[in-house]
Structure 1
Amino acid sequence: MTDDPRTLVSTDWLAKHINDPDLRIVDASWHMPDQNRDARAEYDAAHIPGARFFDIDEISDQRSELPHMAPPPEKFISRMRAMGIGDGHQVIVYDTHGMLSAARVWWTFKLMGKDDVAVLDGGLPKWQAEGREIEDMPPVIRDRHMTVTRRNHLVRDVTQVAEASKLDTPQILDARAAERFAGSVKEPREGLRAGHIPGSKNLPFNRLLHDDGTMKDEAGLRAEFDAAGIDLGRPVITTCGSGITAAVLALGLARIGHDDWSVYDGSWTEWGAFADLPVATGDA
């Protein structure tokens, strides 16, 4: 893979730069509620040296009834300063799955106007499989000022997505598993209808990944987007269950130089809950 500190870097890259004074490592691990795993406790027990823990559910807009919606800028600034992350830092984000929630935090930094942020390819599993160092010590925190410029074009709300559904522009791409997209299985969250946004296409996020959780190369990514029926000359809105794996698709688009994308933050947790929004079933 080609290392790019604005999208994706290898474990070799991180090992080489881990002691850089302006590098900040973030553990963005998150698990579905039904997995009965405690991401914070797992971080406390073992993490890449110097990593800070980013609590996706807490660093969010808790005024919303929807889960882990993007935080207001002032809350993001407050939490990042408390984590010792500020202007001028290169941020590397990883998770314990290999590639899942780390992309969501990458997107959150991008949304807040930060470009020097990348996902660790293969995450903690690859790092540990290579026998690299982990620790259970909390990092030394030094406060640094942070400024934020929210990029509203990187996020879409339900009204904008409903318009895109009717007009077929931008294209809507759903990262959920094919069975959930088709509506042939029950949604994992209670109270949600099964199916997908009318007019949307399906590309399960793991299709962009190798079995070890690393991301495919540019040719492989382009092939997957093409197979899903996406025109890479047009804008794309990515969606999923609750805005987590939609960011994996966004990262994949960024990796191939397609920058006209946005994430539907509410995703199916919002769309599937409202009876007045149309739902399609079956294959795309």
Structure 2
Amino acid sequence: MFSVGKKISFILPIKGVLQKLKDNAQKTVLLDATWYLPTDTKNGKKEYLESRLPGAQYFDIDEAKDHKNPLPHMLPPADEFASYVGKLGIDRNTNVIIYDRKGFFSSPRVFWTFKVFGHEHVFLFPNAFNAWKTEGLELETGEPRTPKPVVYEGAKLNKDLVASFDDIVKVIESPDAAGVHIVDARAHERFLGNVPESRPGLASGHIPTSINIPFTETTAAGITAPKPEEDLEKVFSSHGLTDKSVPIITSCGSGVTASVLFAALKECGFKDVRVYDESWSGYGKRANEDSSLLATGP
């Protein structure tokens, strides 16, 4: 659950991270969530094995997924999530601090995953590597530390944070009645349908009624960190998102950068935000078979 009342940021600067490690190192786990697009030659797990923040464990979104679903890195069943994070030394009361090597790209996906399964004490650490080095702190190299496995209890999928294809169809068929904004995080040319999708078998275009806010509009140059909250407010306002009580569904290619928008929207205080887990990797296949599901152009 996200707290109500006075807003407390879940995005931590380096000082906040170091304070949590100082106050309760035994109950704090750093998670490296580095992941790259299939078109990238880099490998997040390989980079983690080469160097990492001291004591960090690696969260692989291509391992902690629904292995029975052919779509990329769909949310795992609750029991499999619990088993996976338990092996990383994480229990229900652990402070989980998530970072990725790019800065603010794949870590929000893992943040959202923890939130979906009800983990309360989870934070994002943007621009972690640069911040760590700026403080004069050393990275850990060599063999990663092996955590002591623990039991993660009470994992249960929170449907209020996840959108399905059926949810999308309801908005398409009756946008005014649904009262939901669908926000697409993909690049504008992909949204318009002007360029082919990199994954085979996917239509080019976007979900009817959706609006386009490329996730890069919400991040600093180089995707190192989210923009300051006041700048995020301006971005969302410029796209007509001013009422923070209106439900929002974020979508992208496969649910990763939709989670960047999820984090940015929640940081700004939007109350009802869901991620369309299958995103275009699933929707684009459906639209390839049913043109009524597809829109192109502005």
User: Fold-level match, TM-score > 0.5?
Assistant: yes
Per-residue CA shift, 1:22-50, capped at 9, x if unaligned?
11110011111111222111000010011
Q: Distance in 1 between matches of 2:9 and 2:91?
A: 16
Give the whole-Å Cα distance in 2 for the aligned partners of 1:267 and 1:131.
40
Answer yes or no: is 1:163 the counterpart of 2:201.
Answer: no
1:280 aligns with 2:287: no
Q: Give yes or no for contact 1:238–1:250 (8 Å, CA) kept in 2.
A: yes
Query: What RMSD, in angstroms, separates the aligned Cα atoms of the two structures?
Result: 1.6
Which structure 2 segments of 5+ residues have no match?
Answer: 1-6
Name the amino acid aligned to 2:73.
H
Partner of 1:201: 211
Q: Is the 8 A contact 1:122 1:215 kept in 2?
A: no
Q: Deviations over 1:120-153 (max 9, x none)?
A: 0223344345543211241241222212132111
Which stretch has the larger CA shift, 130-139 or 251-260?
130-139
- Aligned partners of 1:60, 1:125: CA distance in 2, in Å? 29
Deviations 1:193-246 (A, max 9, x none): 111000000111111111252212221111111112224331100000000000
The residue aligned with 1:8 is 11
Say whether residues 1:142 and 2:148 are aligned partners. yes
The alpha-carbon deviation at position 165 of structure 1 amounts to 2.2
Alignment equivalent of 1:237, drawn from 249, 254, 257: 249
Once the two structures are superposed, residues 61-105 of structure 1 have per-residue CA deviations (whole angstroms, 9 ceiling, x without a partner) of 011010000010110011111111112111000011111110000
Q: CA deviation at 1:159?
A: 1.1
Secondary structure of the residue that 1:31 maps to in structure 2?
Answer: coil
Residue 185 of structure 2 corresponds to: 175
- Where 1:35 maps in the other structure, the secondary structure is coil
Question: Is the Cα–Cα contact under 8 Å of residues 172 and 238 in structure 1 kept in the other structure?
Answer: yes
Instruction: Report the alpha carbon displacement of residue 18 of structure 1 after superposing the two structures with TM.
Output: 2.8
**Which residue of 85, 90, 110 corresponds with 2:90?**
85
**Change in 2 beyond 3 A, CA 1:5/1:87:** farther
Pair 1:270-2:282 in alignment: yes
Q: State the TM-score, normalized to the length of structure 1.
A: 0.93
* Superposition pairs of residues 49-128 of structure 1, within 5 angstroms: 49-128=54-133
Moved more, 163-172 or 37-46: 163-172
- CA change 1:62–1:264 in 2 (3 A) is same
1:250 matched to 2:262: yes
Q: 1 or 2, which has the higher helix percentage?
A: 2
1:17 CA displacement: 2.8
Out of 53-62 and 164-173, give the one that drifted further. 164-173
Matched, 1:189 2:192: no
TM-aligned CA deviation for residue 6 of structure 1: 6.1
Question: Aligned partner of 2:17: which letter?
Answer: L
Sort the Cα spacing of 1:33 and 1:125 in 2 relative to 1 into closer, same or farther, 3 A: farther
Structure 1 segments unaligned to the other structure (5+ residues): none
Shift of 1:15: 2.6
Distance 1:207 1:53 in 2: 28
Equivalent in the alignment of 1:17: 20
Which residue matches 1:224? 235
Q: How many residues align?
A: 280
Following superposition, the deviation at residue 5 of structure 1 comes to 7.4
